[in-house]
Amino acid sequence: MRSLIRSQLRLGLRTVALLVLTVGLWPVLFATIPWLRTAHVGMVPLPWLILGVGVYPVLVLLGWWHADRAERLEHDFLDLTDRPAEGPSRGRR
């Protein structure tokens, strides 16, 4: 059980790190690169467009990736603990 908890913790920390490296650095880019602050797409400022619309696909993909990895970890753990004595696992992932 401890190995599953440690694996889930590592996955959670990796997910947060990916979130910080993607979404969290966008405001830093806008603050350090002057032309990004003043760029417009149509009448909408680029920072507003990216932070208001572009965040959601990243969050959805990151959430999907995290859920998929968490399920895989749980299935691997169940395979280790629920394995029959006579052979390999019964068709789980």
Summarize pLDDT for 68-88 with one digit per residue, the tens. 999 998 888 888 877 654 555
Percent pLDDT > 90 in the chain is 37
Cα-based torsion angle of the residue sequence 64, 60, 18, 73 in order, rounded to the nearest 10 degrees: -10
Among 87, 71, 89, 70, CA closest to 79: 89
Note the pLDDT tens digit of each residue in 36-47. Answer: 888 889 898 988
Please, is 74 exposed, middle or buried when counting C-beta atoms within 10 Å of its C-beta (0-12, 13-18, 19+)?
middle
Among 17, 23, 90, CA closest to 51: 23
